[in-house]
Amino acid sequence: MTHTLLCVHPHPDDESIACGGVLARTVASGARAVVVTCTGGEEGENLAGIDLGADDLVSHRRRELVDALQALGVTDHHLLGFRDSGMVETPGNQHPDSFHRADLEVASLRLAAIIRAEQPDVVVSDDANGTYGHPDHIKAHRVTVRAVELAAAPSAPLDREPWQVTKRYVHTLGRGRLLAAHQAWMDAGLVSPFGEGPIDSEQDVPFGAPDELITTEIDVTDFLEHKRAALTAHRSQIGSDSFFLNTPSELMADFFGVEQFILEAGTTGVPGIEYDLFAGIAPNEPEAGHR
């Protein structure tokens, strides 16, 4: 039987930015990849200024997400049903349906029900800092941590049998790769997304994990075209001037060729860095009649 990966992302486009390579690689390997999107991206802007016609931005973004998942080969997708909270201290933060304001237990039970249904071996989300501090990304971490607990708890008020996720990770970007990519962009005469000139302090960029915390590195160089196609599908969010789309092919591998993770629950399959999210996990043997 196959392994299953489930990735939790706050907004449409986060799945492609953070985990596009690993999602495409997982599907190509014959394993299952499931994506959960927590909000509809209601607070996003039409950054690329594309013509929406009679469409509103949310339904347009829904279609972009469908196209991106198709580019990655992901067929299993769930919407958690909350509203984008926007950045800190913006009006979207106060909306009663915002993910940021959602009751932790209510949101976590919704995700736990999906986890019981999908039976993932591995679950991935943002880190506790929300990768770059966005309230929805922070909430996605909290909800994922609690949902994994609830999915395994026989006492949780949920249908279906309890399910124990074997390993839970956060996706991240090691500072070593971040700084190397920044230097490569500058050496190529391109504008780095991390700013102009040298960067060396944590104040200069708001994210990036110390390299010694990285437990897992996945080589996705064979899936860079899938990732770029998925990013391109999010046309309203990623303008034609975006570094995601303008990075020359020879630099793509430097920056996007490896996706990095930190194991937060469970044990890695090998001593030192592991190169497979499913390392050490025996193939799943679902009960007869279960998916």
Question: In whole angstroms, how close is the CB of 14 to Zn ion at the nearest point?
Answer: 4
User: Would you tell me how many other CB atoms lie within 10 Å of the CB of residue 70?
Assistant: 13
Instruction: Find out whether 115 and 152 touch, Cβ atoms under 8 Å.
Output: no
Closest approach of Cβ 247 to Zn ion, in Å?
20
Taking alpha carbons only, the member of 115, 26, 125 closest to residue 78 is 115
Among residues 137 and 226, whose Cβ is nearest to Zn ion? 137
- What is the phi-psi region of residue 94: left when phi exceeds 0, alpha when psi lies from -120 to 50, beta otherwise? alpha
Cβ-proximal residue to Zn ion, closest one: 11
Rounded least distance, CB 131 to Zn ion, Å: 8
Question: CA 41, CA 32: separation in Å to the nearest integer?
Answer: 25
Which of 79, 156 has the CB closer to Zn ion? 79
Q: Which is nearer to Zn ion, 167 or 234 (CB)?
A: 234
**Nearest distance from residue 24's CB to Zn ion, in Å?**
19
CB neighbourhood size of 267 (10 A): 12
- Which positions lie near Zn ion, rule CB under 5 A? 10-11, 14
At closest approach, how far in Å is the CB of 261 from Zn ion?
A: 18
Cβ nearer to Zn ion, comparing 11 with 234:
11
Q: How many CA atoms lie within 13 A of 214 on its CB side?
A: 21
| Residue among 20 and 266 whose Cβ is closer to Zn ion | 20
CA distance 205 to 193: 10
Specify which residues 98 forms β-bridges with.
83
Q: Which of residues 11 and 78 has its CB atom nearest to Zn ion in the complex?
A: 11
**Least distance in angstroms from the C-beta of 10 to Zn ion:** 5
Contact between 219 and 205 (Cβ < 8 Å): no
